[in-house]
């Protein structure tokens, strides 16, 4: 029986997958990619009497962070974290941020800048970080016991786009090949769309099976 739970909720302008991960014993929890209202996740936090320790950002595109200001007000002791390279990304959102009336200043100051191969703890749980550039320069994936929160790096049947500010297909190739070293049974929780697993994506993802990432 697993000693942790991952709960998901679709939120925000572009139907982003937001996640809540918590340790059953300590009740410590982390939120990932707060894209907008996350009423379902907040209800779980309240029901389970969780302590929100971290608010993690896989990257800082507007559709993954529009709910952060509100959630920080709700959980002021939670530490907001991203990779430092993402600060340049959030300042260069351009017309997309304006279209959806998002003010980058609403994020406030970050408490932690995440590095590659860093370990964050929730009780006895250890979450490992994978710096996975390509979609953005500082995209971060989070791995725990064959569960991967992949942001917009790897999707069910797809990969992250690289035509926005700071994107690089060459870097994305390297990042995905690194993720493909994880056990094939690893469940993948992407930033958009349905869940998948590493084995399925290695076999069936058209960007892989078609040779693009080989």
Looking at the domain assignment, is residue 193 inside a domain? yes
Question: Residue 68 belongs to what H/E stretch?
Answer: helix 68-74
Report the pLDDT value the prediction gives residue 210, as an integer from 0 to 100: 53
Structural domain that includes position 153: 4-209
Q: pLDDT above 70 covers what percent of the chain?
A: 94
Residue 54's DSSP bridge partners are 30, 79
Query: Which of 13-17, 58-62, 86-90, 96-100 is least confident?
Result: 96-100
DSSP-derived pairing of the beta strands 158-159 and 154-155 = antiparallel
Q: What is the pLDDT of residues 73-109, one digit of tens each?
A: 999 999 999 999 999 988 887 666 767 778 888 899 9
Share the mean pLDDT of the chain. 93
Where residue 170 sits, what CATH number does that domain have? Answer: 3.60.15.10
Average pLDDT rounded to a whole number, residues 199-211: 82
Report the pLDDT value the prediction gives residue 91, as an integer from 0 to 100: 81
When divided into structural domains, the chain yields a total of: 1
Report the pLDDT value the prediction gives residue 90, as an integer from 0 to 100: 84
Whether 169 and 207 have beta carbons less than 8 Å apart is answered as no
Looking at the domain assignment, is residue 78 inside a domain? yes
Looking at the domain assignment, is residue 214 inside a domain? no
C-alpha to C-alpha distance for 23 and 28, rounded to whole angstroms: 6
* pLDDT surpassing 90 at residue 201: yes
Query: Who wins on pLDDT, 67 or 95?
Result: 67
Q: Where are the beta strands (DSSP E) in 90-133?
A: 112-113, 119-122, 125-131
Output helix, strand, coil percentages for the chain, rounded to the nearest 5: 25, 30, 45
Question: Residue 22 belongs to what H/E stretch?
Answer: strand 16-23
Average pLDDT rounded to a whole number, residues 51-71: 96
| Predicted confidence band of residue 214 (pLDDT cuts 50, 70, 90) | very low
């Amino acid at each position: 029986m697993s000693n942790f739970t991952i709960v998901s909720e679709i939120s925000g302008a572009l139907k982003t997958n937001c996640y809540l991960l918590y340790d059953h014993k300590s009740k410590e929890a982390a939120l990932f990619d707060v894209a907008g209202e996350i009423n379902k996740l907040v209800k779980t936090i309240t029901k389970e009497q969780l302590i929100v320790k971290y608010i993690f950002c896989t990257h800082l595109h507007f559709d993954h962070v529009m709910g952060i200001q509100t959630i920080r007000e709700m959980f002021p002791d939670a530490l907001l974290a991203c990779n430092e390279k993402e600060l340049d990304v959030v300042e260069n959102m351009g017309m997309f941020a304006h279209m959806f009336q998002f003010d980058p200043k609403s994020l406030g100051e970050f408490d932690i800048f995440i590095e590659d191969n860093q370990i964050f703890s929730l009780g006895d749980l250890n979450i490992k970080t994978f710096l996975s550039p390509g979609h953005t320069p500082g995209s971060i994936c989070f791995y725990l016991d064959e569960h991967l929160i992949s942001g917009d790096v790897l999707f069910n049947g797809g990969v992250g786009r690289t035509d926005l500010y700071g994107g690089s297909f060459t870097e994305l190739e390297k990042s995905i090949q690194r993720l493909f070293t994880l056990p094939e049974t690893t469940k993948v929780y992407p930033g958009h769309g349905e869940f998948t697993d590493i084995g399925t994506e290695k076999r069936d993802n058209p960007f892989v099976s078609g040779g693009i990432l080989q």
